[in-house]
Chains A and B, each alone.
Chain A
Amino acid sequence: MDEFLYGLPLIGLVFEFIGYILAILPNTAPIMMRAATPIAFAALCGVMCERSGVVNIGIEGTMLVAAFVGWTAGIFLAPVLGSDPGPIFGASPALIGALLLAILSGVLVSLVHAWLSISVRADQIISGTIINIAAFGITGYLNSLLTRGSPTSAGQFKAWSPPDALTDIPIVGWIFETIFAQGPLTISLFVIVIAFQILLFRSRWGLRTRAVGEHPRAAETVGINVIRLRYRNVMVGGALAAFGGAFLSMEGTGTFQQGMTAGRGFIGLAAMIVGRWTPLGAFGAALLFASTVGVSQAILIAPPPGQLGDILTSLPPQFFDALPYLVTIIILAGVVGKSIPPAADGKPYEREAAT
């Protein structure tokens, strides 16, 4: 009984905290959504690759390259194509061209990973790590070379403003605001997640992908080209990761900083595991991880009243910087044993020699 009584104030604080989060949700949800976008794209890349049996640790590096290429291409394309912001999303010809190049760069980087892990049959985790180290080194080198001339950026994509009639709807208006008051990449994320979920579980390609990820030998015997399908999926995954990278340098901010992905590719991998290798689940987990960003910002700006507020504001600000990583570790460790990866995940496929 005594223990129960000691527990009471703590339980009260927990309820107070939940109430606080519910109260700030309408205002912070758009921030959480923007924080979730790159993580969700990384997680989708992971789902795309691993469902067909290729582990991709190099998502982080792929994103970094795409972020750099998008920003740099904008600089070089702006004088050629013009950088006047258009009516939709503030998209200038230069920005659109830069986005396409960023996606292309993501595909090319993932092609390197595909070659090393599918054809060379190197350890896929080593291969991915090398992509990450290479991306960090090469973008760092080119970035220091480029920023010597202090170039002018081509700007960034702007958020769409949905009609007030939609966002002013009581109780659910903030949900529309969260979804639609965003830039083009975040809005396209919703479309991609839903399309990907349907394709993976309802289409011929999805069935083949899952078959190759679970039992490539069986898939090969019914005439599926395992190698080609894996190559294709890893490259599409690279394009998805590139969306996440381009978001960082072209929508979230208008600049590139060395190492700006800051572990989001890895948080995306954790989201993929927590979301059990499904697009919708991965998206949900990405939102969960990103919500820590929104909550920390809210606490710094408008802390809750009373004892709870005193506790939260007495924490060092760096605690909130570390929060997304901390939450990722804790949830990952709690979920991981119960979340089963595709059976052939990470195993290189070797065709049986014809006898």
Chain B
Amino acid sequence: MRARLIRTWGVLALPLIAIALSVLVGSLVILASEWLVAGELKPGLAIDAYAALVDGSVGSERAIINTLTASVPLLLGGLAVGLAFKGGLFNIGVQGQFMMGALGAVAVGVQLRESPAVVAIPVSLLAGMACGAAWGFIPGFLKAVAGAHEVVTTIMLNFIALAVLAAAVNGPLTVQGSVSPITPDVGNASLLILFGRNGHIGIIYAPIMAILYGFLLFRTTRGFEIRIAGSSPDAARYAGMSPRRLIIWTMSVSGMLGGMAGATDLLGVSHQMASSYGTTVGFDAIAIALLGRTNPIGIVFAALLFGALRTGSASMQIQAGVPADLVGVLQATILFFLVASPVLKRLFRLKSVESGIEETSTFTSTYGGEASIR
């Protein structure tokens, strides 16, 4: 029992310390910036802001459902980044895969808006997943064949996705005669609402994806290969695996999860797409995968935390007058403390604690176009 407690603490200590420290830094930022801009020091403001944040995210049944709904794409995106991490790949392109997933879902969903929901929902969802997978396949292919590092190519693809989306919404998908360019509603392809006003079915299937993610990585041969290729590509090569094929496979499946996040957001929440359609899921997902240490359970909790932050930040802005962008600051400081975890360990004298993010040790080694990927 005691040994188990120590082990749990070993895994949880650093993420919890990082969260606590970022809350502290966040309150300093609130106070300092209010003092700089408004010229007066209001010590209570930080407490008011956090109180509003908590109240807006878990303070009522409706708030909890909103938080759960907001967590769904974050969870799927976090799994996308986490899977790539496990395979030694850094998918910064979840942003673009999300956009393409949403675009694929709306393009098909609009066509099927009159069809029965049993057909319309899965087909639209699959279309979004396919688009996301295609958007993940490109950087995987470029890395495996040409050696172009995914960090640069995925960022470029994020911007290209933005342009593709704008072209589609302004062009073929637009509703004729509307004031600003927008697609029609997806109608029957909208996800079923199970809880409250907007608690859609994604709240059920996203955790199932997390279970599948754990099953894939830890119970299948393919998952084993991905983990070996991620932790030591040379060993994978000696064992007769093909790192090239694994890179392409991992990036495509990672992109598929990213696309699923986008499709879920579109079919479940916005139901139609304006040319201003945007998201922060791509970058939140990186933070979630790191905070959850690429572990499926960890990612679920990290996604819930960020879902709560994103949901609560709106009421923080209204009630306490602190801009909702504060979430970005919190996210950044959490990440900073996670990466600086060797220093935290020394500072807090945590000997038995596992230090942060072991899976990430291979990114930089393939950077700059390693021609030797075979």
Contacts and interface: CB of A to CB of B under 8 A. Distances in A.
Interface of A: 50, 55, 57, 112, 116, 120-127, 129-130, 133-134, 136-138, 140-146, 148-149, 262-263, 266-267, 269-270, 273, 316-319, 321-322, 325-326, 328-329, 332-334, 336-337, 339, 341, 345-347
A267 B157 CA distance: 12
B347 interface: no
A43 B372 CA distance: 24
A38 B338 CA distance: 31
Contacts of B90: 125-126, 129
What is the size category of the interface that chain B forms with chain A?
Answer: 35 or more
B92 A129 contact: yes
Interface of B: 29, 33, 37, 90, 92, 142, 146-149, 151-153, 155-160, 162-164, 166-167, 170-171, 283, 286-287, 290, 323-333, 335-336, 339-340, 342-343, 357, 360-361, 363-365, 367-369, 371
B365 A266 contact: no
A339 B364 CA distance: 16
B247 to A, nearest CB: 14
B336 to A, nearest CB: 6
A136 B328 contact: yes
A244 B292 CA distance: 35
Given A133-B331, A140-B325, A329 B142 contact: yes
A339 B369 CA distance: 8
A125 B286 contact: no
A345 B339 contact: no
Contacts of A321: 162-163, 166
Contact of B339 (A122, A145, A270, A334): A122
Contact of B151 (A50, A57, A333): A57
B91 to A, nearest CB: 11
B156 A328 contact: yes
B37 A345 contact: no
Contacts of A346: 364-365, 367-368
Given A120-B340, A318-B167, A329-B153, A141 B367 contact: no
Contact of B340 (A122, A123, A341): A122
B363 A125 contact: yes
B146 A318 contact: no
Nearest to B284: A133
Contacts of A123: 339, 357, 360-361, 363-364
Contacts of B326: 141
B164 A318 contact: yes
Given A125-B367, A133-B286, A339-B369, 15 more contacts: A55-B368, A120-B340, A122-B340, A129-B92, A130-B339, A133-B283, A133-B328, A133-B335, A316-B170, A322-B160, A329-B157, A336-B148, A346-B365, A346-B367, A346-B368
Contacts of B339: 116, 120, 122-123, 126-127, 130
